[in-house]
Structure 1
Amino acid sequence: MKLSFWEINSWFSGVDYTIVGSGIVGLHTALRLRERFPESKILVLEKGPMPQGASTKNAGFACFGSLSEIIDDLKNHSEEEVIALIQKRRNGLQLLRKRLGDAIDFKPHGGYEIFPEEDTNGLEECLRRMPFVNEVLRPLFRNDVFSKETDRFGFKGTHEYLIFNPYEGQIDTGSMMQALIKEVAANNIQILNCQTVTAYHEKADGVEVALGDFSFTTKKLLFATNGFASAITDGAVKPARAQVLITEPIPNLDIRGTFHIDRGYYYFRNYGDRILFGGARNLDFEGETTTEFAETALIQNRLEQLLREMILPGTNVAIAHRWSGIMGMGSHKNPIVEQLSSHVYCGVRLGGMGIAIGSLIGQELADLV
């Protein structure tokens, strides 16, 4: 379909900043650019009818890593790097709450880590290293972060002890993104959905951006495409699909909080009187390294099995809905926020922590310009 003169003149002429991706990072990038350049023309391009990837498809965890995840990270990163990552995640959550306030429906129920009976070694390692991790994190939180608690939820096939983190919470992802979109609109920033960037060509004074058979020029081009950023990062970002399900309402549900199993590869929470449960990509790393939105029997069956046998034993549970999202992973957990060339930038590879760090990465990306 050919664009009219009016469409070209109104939306695509005189663009100063074009952001690819309307998720958490992209919209925070746009808002920060508006703060820095009040008179500029800012355009956000989104390939889907609404934000794709993970921003509207995640589980709504306001977290910075379970104890076993942090211990795992300490085996592959320096202590300084791990502290910096946690600090970034905490700062990002604070920035998100400050910007959007009650709109994200933050509930500080705390977070728990569960250990299946067969994971005695995992529990013992966490209990053994918990004092050290608490000591490492004390300068950030001014208190112990992790503590041992007795399971009061009636989980089956698990150890009697849980690891509790009072600083973790849950949010309403849909409300968060709607609030962000409203703020972007209020700041005279245009979002165009169903627009796929098929190519771009850098010129001396800007970038020519192709949308199929139509192209326009922008002074700066910023990619906030996270799990879809493999091509622009020479493979430094790998897509990681995360599958999720949510139950129908469950009478008398007495579970409140966010819960982690197996170093965060499984995660669940309550949403009102429902259980939202996701993960299990470690059952098929190769198959889940994809940008295809789909659900597989292997993973969905495992989620249902754990839901019925471990989380809600003896409860009649009906599944209301299933979906998947695409995260951005890599060999390192540090996000990639960098200038790719004279007029092109990216803020990607959020490592499954988009809610925690997305707002901060957007701000950092905008500040590169």
Structure 2
Amino acid sequence: MDLSYWEIKNWFTNVDYTIVGSGIVGIHAALHLRERFPESKILVLEKGMLPQGASTKNAGFACFGSLSEIIDDLRNHAEEEVINLIRRRWEGLQLLRKRLGDSQIDFKPYGGYELFLKDDNNGFAEAQSRMPFINEILKPIFRSDVFSKEVDRFGFQQTNEYLFFNPFEAQIDTGNMMQALLKQAISENILILNQQTVTAYHEKTAGVEVVLGDFSFLTQKLLFATNGFASGITGGEVKPARAQVLITAPIPGLDIRGTFHLDKGYYYFRNIGERILFGGGRNLDFDGETTTEFGLTEKIQNRLEQLLKEVILPGRDFRIEHRWSGIMGMGASKNPIVSRLSERVYCGVRLGGMGVAIGSLVGKELADLV
């Protein structure tokens, strides 16, 4: 980089904290560091034009797990671990709402629903039988039952006539949320540089040398908030998971309001006004979707369109207006990794597809490690 004296002096000299990643976790970490260290110099580096990964590409679900997803988690995690994870997701959502305010993020408490395809009788039966137990273990967090069974009033086809309803779930506007966070960071004198890729870092006696291509600078502490792109710094404990999404043009008279889950959360849809946003399907090709490359595949997009036509909007005319993808961070465990990698280097990654919910809390926990 051909930098001037002024640029080096103002942006890259006497840096106290450098955060890699300007998504939900990175900006929350920066804001929390500012609260703790008011006079510090905080620099955020972002490799994309906008926050890369999932922070501006997600579906805007303020959720903490569908009924079948929680049941599935209990097969792979201890009960106490699952309860704690849901508690942290719920606390993270409250942190996000408190920091930004419901109007800023267009918080809409429509509730969440889970539907089951007719050929998934076993899944529905298990969810119905396990619902009282799940409600019981979650009662200390929510003070009331989370899940209840309701008759489908939305006109879905090829599904069970009953849905499971969760009144604590809501929608947010992902774009508004990230814009508000970035504005807050700038107002707090946090420096943000986009299209900067950290190619290496080296711990020195006086700090950490951060390498950006052919340029390097020194920072006292280095924090990684790169989620799905973090496999290199966590020894493979984080695996990228691509999520493909589409959105329709406005559908006049659309009477679907809420957030909806299908197939253990592998498919999800919601309304945005009179549009339907629909995403998921990585379970059709786990290997192919374990990638840091953005992109769309015919197999998954065709399945999303098929479910739209046959299940969600049967008999309705609609047009797909836009498609995109995002990169999430997954692993063998759904618990986020918030850890100190060395004396001066830290990371807060592996959000398990629940960045909107748990990202605020992980950012705070990451800053608290310093």
**TM-score, scaled to structure 1:** 1.00
Q: How does 1:157-306 map to 2 (within 5 A)?
A: 157-306=158-307
Quote how far apart the aligned CAs of 1:314 are. Answer: 0.5
- Which residue of structure 1 lines up, in the alignment, with residue 37 of structure 2? 37
Residue deviations 1:128-159, cap 9 Å, x none? 00000101111111111000000000000001
- Which residue of structure 1 lines up, in the alignment, with residue 83 of structure 2? 83
CA distance in 2: counterparts of 1:80 and 1:199, whole angstroms: 38
Quote how far apart the aligned CAs of 1:302 are. Answer: 0.5
- Which residue of structure 1 lines up, in the alignment, with residue 67 of structure 2? 67
Amino acid paired to 1:83: I
CA distance in 2: counterparts of 1:354 and 1:48, whole angstroms: 18
Report the secondary structure of 2:261's partner residue.
strand
Structure 2 residue 13 is matched with structure 1 residue 13: yes
Residue deviations 1:280-307, cap 9 Å, x none? 0000000000000101111011000100
Amino acid paired to 1:17: Y
Q: How does 1:2-151 map to 2 (within 5 A)?
A: 2-101=2-101, 102-151=103-152
Q: Using the TM superposition, name which of 75-84 and 277-286 deviates more.
A: 75-84
Amino acid paired to 2:51: P
Residue deviations 1:70-97, cap 9 Å, x none? 0011111111101100000000000000
CA distance in 2: counterparts of 1:199 and 1:74, whole angstroms: 38
CA distance in 1: counterparts of 2:360 and 2:76, whole angstroms: 26
CA distance in 1: counterparts of 2:206 and 2:227, whole angstroms: 26
Report the secondary structure of 2:292's partner residue.
coil
CA distance in 2: counterparts of 1:353 and 1:224, whole angstroms: 14
- Which residue of structure 2 lines up, in the alignment, with residue 327 of structure 1? 328
Quote how far apart the aligned CAs of 1:17 are. Answer: 0.1
CA distance in 1: counterparts of 2:78 and 2:333, whole angstroms: 12
Quote how far apart the aligned CAs of 1:6 are. Answer: 1.0
Report the secondary structure of 1:346's partner residue.
strand
Residue deviations 1:195-247, cap 9 Å, x none? 00000001122100000000000000000000000000000000000000000
How many pairs align? Answer: 369
CA distance in 1: counterparts of 2:93 and 2:140, whole angstroms: 18
Amino acid paired to 2:65: G
- Any stretches of 5+ residues in structure 2 without a counterpart? none
Residue deviations 1:31-65, cap 9 Å, x none? 00000000000000000011010000000000000
- Which residue of structure 2 lines up, in the alignment, with residue 347 of structure 1? 348
Superposition RMSD on alpha carbons, in Å? Answer: 0.5
Percent same amino acid among aligned pairs?
76
CA distance in 2: counterparts of 1:119 and 1:204, whole angstroms: 59
Residue deviations 1:155-176, cap 9 Å, x none? 0000100000000000000000
Runs of 4+ in 1 over 2 A off after TM superposition: none
Quote how far apart the aligned CAs of 1:4 are. Answer: 1.0
Amino acid paired to 2:201: Y
Amino acid paired to 1:362: G
CA distance in 1: counterparts of 2:136 and 2:29, whole angstroms: 34
Residue deviations 1:1-30, cap 9 Å, x none? 411111111100000000000000000000
CA distance in 2: counterparts of 1:206 and 1:298, whole angstroms: 48
Report the secondary structure of 1:129's partner residue.
helix
CA distance in 2: counterparts of 1:204 and 1:214, whole angstroms: 19
Report the secondary structure of 1:231's partner residue.
coil
Residue deviations 1:332-365, cap 9 Å, x none? 0100000000100000000000000000000000
Q: Using the TM superposition, name which of 251-260 and 70-79 deviates more.
A: 70-79
Report the secondary structure of 1:323's partner residue.
strand
CA distance in 2: counterparts of 1:142 and 1:362, whole angstroms: 26
Amino acid paired to 2:21: G
CA distance in 2: counterparts of 1:10 and 1:79, whole angstroms: 50
Amino acid paired to 2:166: N
Amino acid paired to 2:31: L
**TM-score, scaled to structure 2:** 0.99
